[in-house]
Amino acid sequence: MAHSIVMLGKKHDLKSFDCGNPILNTWLQTTARQHQKKSLSSTFVLVDDESSEAVIGFYALAISSMAAKEKLSPSMAKSLPLMVPGITLGRLAVATKFKGQGNGSMLLVDTMIRAKYVARQVGGFALFVDAKDEATAGFYAHFGFEPLPDDPLRLCIPIASIPEFGY
């Protein structure tokens, strides 16, 4: 079964998406398209190439507000200006019936590749994410994200540290 990650469109079936988290389900079903229309964030969906309407998983990216250098780890903050730009991974979820198959990793790698591309075009020091719990923070840490010193559930990875992933 081949998969693609594409920008959320009108053809995608959002009503049947269920990741087990009502907040994420509701956001995708009621808010994602509105945010995209207003250019507040962009949502990308993982779909099966044969039935491209069903959403397997999704993530949303947005430009983040400037982050204060002192919020970053000392090693990361070295030689940076007082405020640094970034990109935020606002949400990432996989439908319950597709969990445990590497789909979350696939979505995160695509997020990182896209963030690196965007930062090359417009600038941005880091990709930021707010983890919902310690287990989720561990998932992001596995990919090189580091917790901020004063908030272990807010993590970031410098754009320059994102691997090329073969692209």
d(CA 134, CA 136): 5
Please answer whether residues 162 and 124 qualify as being in contact, where contact means their C-beta atoms are separated by less than 8 angstroms. no
Closest CA to 112 of 145, 68, 71, 139: 145
Identify whether 167 is a catalytic site residue: no
Strand partners, 60: 43, 91
Catalytic residue (choose from 59, 117, 140, 167): 140
Contact 38, 79 (CB under 8 A): no
Active site members: 140
